[in-house]
Structure 1
Amino acid sequence: MSLRPTLETRQAALTMEGAGVRLHRAFGFHDPSELDPFLLFDDFRNERPEDFIKGFPWHPHRGIETITYVLSGTVEHGDSLGNTGTLGAGDVQWMTAGSGILHQEMPKGNAQGQMHGFQLWGNLPSSQKMTAPRYQDVQGKDIPEIIDDDGTRVKVIVGTFWGQTGPVDGIAADPQYLDVFVPAGVKKTFPIDTYRRAFAYVFDGAGAFADASAPQGVLLEKEVAGEEVNIRDLSGDRTLIRFGSGDEVTVQAGPEGIRFLLISGAPIDEPVAWHGPIVMNTQAELQQAMRDLQNGTFIKPAH
């Protein structure tokens, strides 16, 4: 087994999206090859309704898939296909924009006025850019949760892990999307397919991710799989950890435990032409999408 080195640790950046929603962006709109097949990851978490209530009014998407995971509050959604619905706490929605869709997402707080959720964008390969749009909504009760003997808990949202398979399937990026909690003081190793790009996003508590490549900034030294590795300073709330190649990651939970998303996917390795919510392979395809928006042909008839 080989430990994945930590390529980068960075804080998610505060930004504004939609009609005035304050959120933290871990990555997006920079180098799309960094975490290919993933393009963008947003953490929308607010304590005040005025920071999110205006939501994300009608806007287009083409050429991507989005995975929305709600932890608290609700998100009401509607689209140009006539679909409507509400995502509640623990629920997941996977949307394939494909050839084009117009939709809106309007967050509503819980009884305390709080809202928390994540949105991940996955790229579509050129062969699937213009497929028919589709949705999959999954209720939280249908997401399997594994509880290990040491108290580690893993919700398997997408992919297969420790013998359990998540209910969301058919995503082109073929991701593994896990919601992980490791209790205080516990050290845990998680396998990841060698050929996938991978990142972790910490959103509660803190911990240290083992890094075989960096002797500096050592917090602890541990024996992992027979190799001496270094565990960097604790990573806390809203921290992105981008991993290099290998087939496992190890985390040492801090004094309050750590909860994080562990996400990996097979790279597509294709050119990316990107403008806002539209992601194609060439500038010509991007320009065509803009013309379609202007002349009213963005939404393609169902075949």
Structure 2
Amino acid sequence: MFKVIEGEKVKDGAGVVLNRMIGIEKLQDIDPFLLLDEFRSDNKDDYISGFPMHPHRGFETITYMVKGSFTHRDSRGNEGNLNAGEVQWMTAGKGIIHEEMPAMENGQLWGYQLWVNLPSKLKMIEPKYRHLTNEDMPIINGDGISVKIISGRYGEIKGPIELYFPVEYFDVGLKGGTFEKELKGTNIIYVHSGKVKIYSDEEIEVEKGNMCIITEQEKVKITGEDGGFLFMSADPINEPVARYGPFVMNNMDEIIKAVDDFNEGKLV
């Protein structure tokens, strides 16, 4: 099945302007993906307020910076700059409080945040923070194609980190080349540059700023003369989802416990 989703302009954090693809009225989530935001602007007023301290529990956040820089700080003592091309992979697990604030006052800020759910057996694991530099992530260059591997495997090349829950996450550029990949249960393609043609049991063209969801297919082929996209793929968890702001659990009793723990300072 193919489905194309147009993003919605929203504000989050302390007023950051976002193009939100997942976590909107027409697509609350697509198991196991809970949220996908693109922040991309040359106007400092769109991003300068950042994302001040806020809590998470029950899932993972993956922040990929294409241009510009954020400063990360959290309640577990992790701190540092997330610069162009780098990735912050944070497992919130049983709970963490963090902030992401621009480390720049002018220029283009361009990046993504993806939320990936965790199965019930992993929701209360210890939080973990991993910073991936450009040197950590392999880039495969072929005939008219480049594939940056943030996580998972492309061909014989594997990404840099061992994951609690397997997710494939690539940044792909096409200059007349072809991207081919075997698929998992849930697959999303967010076109960030130009346009691409996607082939499986049908054909569809997707333009910049839109996302294609593919399910119930074994393979995909994507072509483009001057296009780029994020490819994210994982198998669904198939568990109930209870969601309240920055907490994602399996039922409302667990959500209430998360809110109580945060109010009582137990996430620090």
Instruction: Return the structure number with greater relative CO, CA threshold 8 A, min gap 6.
Output: 1
Q: Does 1:266 align with 2:258?
A: no
The 1:241/1:17 distance shift into structure 2, 3 A limit, reads same
Equivalent in 283, 288, 294 of residue 252 of structure 2 = 283
CA offsets per residue over residues 31-82 of structure 1, 9 Å max, x none? 8885211111000111111110110000000001011110000010101111
1:17 matched residue in structure 2: 12
The 1:101/1:59 distance shift into structure 2, 3 A limit, reads same
Distance 1:33 1:212 in 2: 26
Partner SS state of residue 257, structure 2: helix
Which of 1 and 2 has greater Rg?
A: 1
2:92 matched residue in structure 1: 97
Contact 2:23 2:29 in 1 (8 A): no
Equivalent in 36, 40, 47 of residue 41 of structure 1 = 36
Partner SS state of residue 227, structure 2: strand
The 1:128/1:79 distance shift into structure 2, 3 A limit, reads same
> 1:292, CA displacement in angstroms?
1.4
Identity across matched positions, percent? 38
Distance 1:33 1:23 in 2: 16
1:247 matched residue in structure 2: 218
> 1:211, CA displacement in angstroms?
5.0
In the alignment, structure 2 segments of 5+ residues that lack a partner are none
Size of the aligned set, in residue pairs, is: 268
Letter of the 1:235 counterpart: V
Q: Does 1:171 align with 2:164?
A: yes
Letter of the 1:266 counterpart: D
2:137 matched residue in structure 1: 143
In the alignment, structure 1 segments of 5+ residues that lack a partner are 214-230
Scaled by the length of structure 1, the TM-score of the pair is 0.84
Partner SS state of residue 135, structure 2: helix
Partner SS state of residue 224, structure 2: strand
Contact 1:72 1:109 in 2 (8 A): no
1:228 matched residue in structure 2: none
Equivalent in 115, 120, 133 of residue 121 of structure 1 = 115
> 1:109, CA displacement in angstroms?
4.1
Q: Does 1:180 align with 2:169?
A: no
Distance 1:202 1:85 in 2: 29
> 1:162, CA displacement in angstroms?
1.4
Scaled by the length of structure 2, the TM-score of the pair is 0.94
2:266 matched residue in structure 1: 297
